Structure 1
Amino acid sequence: MHLYIVTGSSRGLGAALVQRLTQADNIVIGIARKANPALQAEQWTLDLADPVAAAERLQAWLRANKHWDSATLINNAALLSEPGPLAASPLDGLSSALRVGLEAPTLLSRVFLAETAGIPIRRILNISSGLGRRAMAGSAAYCAIKAGLDHLSRALALEEPSVGVVSLAPGVIDTDMQVQLRGADPTRFPEQTRFQGLKDGGQLQTADDTAAAIVRFLMRPDFGKTVVSDIRDA
């Protein structure tokens, strides 16, 4: 049996990944604030803005459920704070974004690595972004979170050479986050017109097509060879 744990699983890319991975011989656990009734996977309704509680839930479950042929953690969840200058951003929104986007993946990875020792095949896939590699005004926290995921992945790959670890930029996907960026105040978020142009130009990928490409990438025998990757280069 193969275990997959996917955060941010209730909608968008996370839901598409869960749908792609839900098949015979796979046990899929989705973690999100709300359940998605269309998904057949086991769903945990947890707020990753409280990452210690989520990590402790995963720890207890993994200790009680072992003997997997492979185990994969996909840190997909992200929370975009209000687009605009950092100096004008609400503190609570910034804190939640940092907890969901970077603290939660770090704690979940820690639990996953400790509690899956001995499983023959283990993978951690962190869903990053091109903005972790190219700064953008009006989204400082998001850029920092994704850059942090990239560097966390590099460090884990050094610490755990037997574990496949990748921080993957998935391209530009038509999700609720894109709607939020397009709807931002252009006086606070100077890149708003560029994101509107991506939508108008038909350059956004569907969540399902992206999930299909990510699952193919995840199953490659050389997964983990290039720790910081971009699905468009795969």
Structure 2
Amino acid sequence: MSTSHLILLTGASRGMGRAMAEQLLQPGNVLVCLSRHSVAELSAAAKAHDVSLEQWEADLADPVPVAARVAEWLGQQDAQAFDHATLINNAGTIGDPRPLAAADAASLAQAMRVGLEAPLLLTSAFLRATRDWRAARKVLNISSGLGRNAMGSQASYCAAKAGMDHFSRAVALEEAAAQNGARIVSLAPGVIDTDMQVQLRATDPSLFPDRTRFVNLQAQGLLDSPATAAGKVLAYLARPDFGSNPVADVRDAA
């Protein structure tokens, strides 16, 4: 009997999120992607591979209705239908890199809503809605080294990722004490050549003194492609020890 795996993935329209979505289009998977825009190529690939795919256009800067929709949809599913159920909180934004004293309030608020409030609310909705499912449940939060090592002109991104790390620790304690508790990991995926990197390399160095560091990472070939990074992240998700350390790095030894 084949297994069935439900995966909810945010930020699936570009970068590593899109690469993960492409790699998750495998037989037995049911994939629900939440992004600001749908991707026609993903729909075509899902049809070609005969994989169930839903794409929801959702603005995670307004996370309350998105979490409510996730909870309602999960509540309509058969609690016995899936062997595995996974939420991947991948979406994030670096906002407008600049010192906090020079930052725009609306940009800061958006970065925190997308990067921290949305993952927190979606994790809550997922765990509550799937509590009585027979499925083995996992939550994978895509964090960053900047959640663990501060960088100037990145206060909102550092704060969001540090908050993601710490709420993952708290949820891990809660789920460890629950029947059929979910396993949760906040995972740093390494450095990846995405639109975020392009934005950082293009930032005025007077606003972002560490710009040269990111220019050098690209020049030295030290950035993973989105596809390579996605493969590493999904391999970590599949590790038998997933959840043993709620705050981890994709480069951690097995």
TM-based fold match above 0.5: yes
Partner residue, 2:152: 137
SS, match of residue 74 in structure 1: strand
Residue deviations 1:174-221 (CA, integer Å, cap 9, x gap): 000000000001001000010000011111001101111111111111
Residue 93 (structure 1) aligned with residue 96 (structure 2):
no
Pairing of 1:150-229 with structure 2 (within 5 A): 150-161=165-176, 162-229=181-248
Residue 33 (structure 1) aligned with residue 36 (structure 2):
yes
CA-CA distance at 1:112 after TM superposition: 0.3
Distance 1:11 1:88 in 2: 29
Counterpart selection for 1:59 from 71, 81, 100: 71
What amino acid is aligned across from residue 154 of structure 2 in structure 1? S
Distance 1:203 1:145 in 2: 25
What amino acid is aligned across from residue 48 of structure 1 in structure 2? L
CA-CA distance at 1:94 after TM superposition: 0.7
Partner residue, 2:54: 42
Partner residue, 2:9: 6
CA-CA distance at 1:118 after TM superposition: 2.6
Residue 83 (structure 1) aligned with residue 134 (structure 2):
no
| TM-score (norm. length: structure 1) | 0.98
CA-CA distance at 1:156 after TM superposition: 0.4
Partner residue, 1:69: 83
Distance 1:184 1:156 in 2: 36
What amino acid is aligned across from residue 233 of structure 2 in structure 1? I
SS, match of residue 193 in structure 2: coil
What amino acid is aligned across from residue 76 of structure 2 in structure 1? A
CA-CA distance at 1:47 after TM superposition: 0.3
SS, match of residue 8 in structure 2: strand
What amino acid is aligned across from residue 49 of structure 1 in structure 2? A
The worse-fitting range, judged by mean Cα deviation, of 186-195 and 32-41 is 32-41
Residue 122 (structure 1) aligned with residue 137 (structure 2):
yes
CA radius of gyration, larger in: 2
Partner residue, 2:50: none
Over aligned residues, Cα RMSD in angstroms?
A: 0.8
Distance 1:212 1:223 in 2: 15
Distance 2:182 2:240 in 1: 12
CA-CA distance at 1:150 after TM superposition: 0.3
Distance 1:121 1:221 in 2: 12
Distance 2:114 2:14 in 1: 15
What amino acid is aligned across from residue 201 of structure 1 in structure 2? Q
Q: Which runs of 5+ in 2 are unaligned?
A: 47-52
Q: List 4+ stretches of structure 1 deviating above 4 A.
A: none
